[in-house]
Amino acid sequence: MSIEKLELVSIAGTLPHLNDAIVACLQSGVFHIENAAKLLGSAEEAGTGRTELNPYAEPLRALSELDLRQIHIDPAAEPAPGEFTPEQIMQETARITDSMRTVRDGIVAAEKKIADYENSAIHLKHLKQADIDLGELVKCRHIVYRFGRMPEENMLKLDFYSDEGFIFQTYHTAHEYVWGFYFATQERIASVDAIMKGLLFERYELPEDISGTPEQALAGLQSRLTEKKTELAELQKQEKQIYDTEAELLRNMYRHARYQSEVYRLRSNCVIMKDKFNLMGYIPASEHDRFKKRIDWVPEVTATYEAPWADSKVQPPVRLKNGWFSKPFSMFVEMYGLPNYNGYNPTTFVAITYTLLFGIMFGDLGQGLVLAAIGMFLSIKKGITLGGVMTRIGISSAFFGTLYGSVFGYEEMLDPLWEKTGIPYLPLKAMENMNVFVYGAIGLGAVIIIVSMLINIAVNLRRRNFTEAVFGNNGVAGLVFFASVMTLIVGLVTGKQLLPKTVAFAILGATLLLMFFREPLGHWLAHKHYESEGLADFIAGNFFECFEFLLGYTSNTISFIRVGGFVFSHAGLMAVVMTIADMIGGDHKSIITVIIGNIIVMGFEGLIVGIQVMRLEFYEIFSRCYDGDGKPFTPISVSFDDLSENKQSEQTANA
């Protein structure tokens, strides 16, 4: 299909109505904004998109410090301009923040206490068998204790520090660690801490209010932990009540602040001169009437519509226009890169060639229908674009599987059907017709390469790039050269030369010379002056480039042999599955083996075939007729869906 036609819109008006104009463009949903200064020329010539203070930046930051996950924000409910001033948002946000400060502080304190209790409980479990009073340890003033663990292998090293004036008492060993206490006087604790740190001792603080034996302390700790969790739940309930009460106000303020903040950001793309502004961008030509109706509502604003400027330094954006069959394949085109506005939309060509090549390489009636069914489910029920691709290539696989006579690997199932039709060369068995598949793959590749060259010629002629269109390796000269080589090869294989060899070699020599002198000839045809860097550099550079062209023709054509190779690969894999099933026997185990084998082949080989076809598209086809240097058409919009878990967690932690 084609690339959708766009119109360049220039909106001019008085500065007080700039925000209203931007809001109208946002609400249209079809306006792709451009930097007006770049479109019109330099900033000095066209005025300046001056940097302005965004009055909604600070209110938006203040709102984002609240946990907005607790309210529902509908992205479709856009607020009316002027609903809240920045000052009102700041005042209301401060009021809500103050009302929940005590509750929020209590939640933070309770969460910290719970974490401390849970951490202490984990380590106290290693002291359950000890008969010591932890409360007495905490009360000690002259003797200092440290509780924690160290690697068991470092216990032997303690003998080296027997004279350092400290005691290490162990109580539990597990998972290559030893838990226990070490004791030292106030005067020696600093040096002992350094020694134990070197022995990889990990210290854990016990709660100050701990008492009794470890078992008693653990029971008390669990009780306090339950109380704190109850307290936390009550505080969270109070916090939620505040959010529920203020939810509507918070929603409206956030939507308005976010919307207006985006409006002020977009103002930087405008040219502003004194009290006038100029806002520029692109809209689809098909949306002209709808956009015009919306922008005409803005007072003291005029809009002009024209075709995109051909000589502009700013490249127009691209929106692909595809039909029902080719639309899912646009994802492959976008992966490679969009065409430029005056380029060629290859999606239909990709859809046809991808579907054809995949079907040939993965031909099986049963597996193809299953693949198509899965694709339909993913496309219709889940809205996954790849599902549409799977549906089409699945049907193609089923079609070629019918020609091959293959149904879930059973190569003879369709033989009676083909015998009734009386077509002698069908079904086309892969292992019995190897030459057909090899030569057919090369021939199909040659046809695809020739079509790619024809597309390249048409695109470059439209751009008036005569060097590539007429004399390039993918232009007229390259096309004639490649076609002549293929004619000679067909003559050698069939024994019937379509062209006399002298004529064919004369054409090859002439076209090779044209490609050698392509740059000066292209400049001459375009009535442009050509300057060479030097005769020696010219000869050397063009000689190696022509040699590269010849290698490219050879490698690109031979690359299509993989199409036939995967036909043999698919047939071979299914033959292995059937052999294993026969070895197991004719009962239900054999059927299960066939089912599992088909699933493995569909998943493994289907993925590889899909990747290999994509490689042929990108390297053998796109490299000849497609640049992929365009930029996408992206209408301006405001997104409210940035309230992610990670962002909100960071904001809560920083609050």
Alpha-carbon torsion, ordered 251, 253, 259, 261, to 10 deg: -140
**pLDDT 10s digits, 554-570:** 888 888 999 999 999 98
In 10 A of CB 560, how many CB atoms? Answer: 22
Q: Is the pLDDT of residue 117 over 50?
A: yes
Output the pLDDT for position 42: 53
pLDDT band of residue 332 (cuts 50, 70, 90) is very high
Residue 616 · residue 622 · CB < 8 Å: no
Output the pLDDT for position 123: 73
* Domains defined along the chain, listed by start: 1-49+270-319+632-655 (3.30.70.120), 320-625 (no CATH)
From residue 468, give the alpha-carbon distance in Å to each of 43, 451, 455, 637: 36, 16, 12, 40
- State the amino acid at position 230 in one-letter form: T
> How far apart are alpha carbons 219 and 125 in whole angstroms?
10
**pLDDT 10s digits, 3-31:** 899 999 999 999 999 999 999 999 899 99
- State the amino acid at position 302 in one-letter form: T
In 10 A of CB 570, how many CB atoms? Answer: 25
Output the pLDDT for position 607: 93
**pLDDT 10s digits, 582-593:** 888 766 668 888
Residues 6+ apart with CB under 8 A from 95: none
Q: Is the pLDDT of residue 655 over 70?
A: no
Alpha-carbon torsion, ordered 373, 375, 377, 381, to 10 deg: -160
Q: Is the pLDDT of residue 326 over 70?
A: yes
Exposure string (b/e) for 386-410, b if CB count within 10 Å is 16 or more? ebbbbbbbbbbbbbbbbbbbbbbbb
- State the amino acid at position 458 in one-letter form: A
Residue 47 · residue 338 · CB < 8 Å: no
Q: What is the mean pLDDT of residues 502-527?
A: 86
Average pLDDT, whole number, for the chain?
Answer: 86
Output the pLDDT for position 533: 72
> How far apart are alpha carbons 289 and 28 in whole angstroms?
11
Backbone angle region of 262, left / alpha / beta, with phi > 0 → left and psi within -120 to 50 → alpha = alpha
Structure tokens at 597: 């084998």
pLDDT band of residue 232 (cuts 50, 70, 90) is very high
Nearest to 266 by CA among 76, 21, 12, 4: 21
The more confidently predicted of residues 120 and 29 is 29
> How far apart are alpha carbons 640 and 212 in whole angstroms?
54
> How far apart are alpha carbons 87 and 55 in whole angstroms?
9
**pLDDT 10s digits, 608-629:** 999 999 999 998 888 888 888 8
Which residue in this structure is represented by tokens 């690697």? 151
**Percent of the chain residues topping a pLDDT of 70:** 94
Nearest to 503 by CA among 517, 518, 488: 488
Q: Any idea which of 5-9, 354-358, 420-424 has the lowest mean pLDDT?
A: 420-424
Q: What is the mean pLDDT of residues 80-102?
A: 86
Output the pLDDT for position 646: 38
Structure tokens at 408: 């879930």
Long-range contacts of the stretch 340-343 (C-beta < 8 A, 24+)? 340/315, 340/316, 340/627, 340/629, 340/630, 341/3, 341/6, 341/308, 341/315, 341/316, 341/317, 341/630, 342/310, 342/462, 342/463, 343/3, 343/318, 343/459, 343/626, 343/627, 343/630
Q: Is the pLDDT of residue 398 over 60?
A: yes
Which residue in this structure is represented by tokens 């990709």? 350
From residue 334, give the alpha-carbon distance in Å to each of 6, 46, 557, 610, 634: 19, 34, 25, 17, 14
Instruction: Supply the pTM of this predicted model.
Output: 0.74
**pLDDT 10s digits, 441-492:** 999 999 999 999 999 999 888 888 888 889 988 889 999 999 998 888 888 8
Task: Count CA atoms closer than 13 A to 454's CA, side-chain side.
Answer: 8
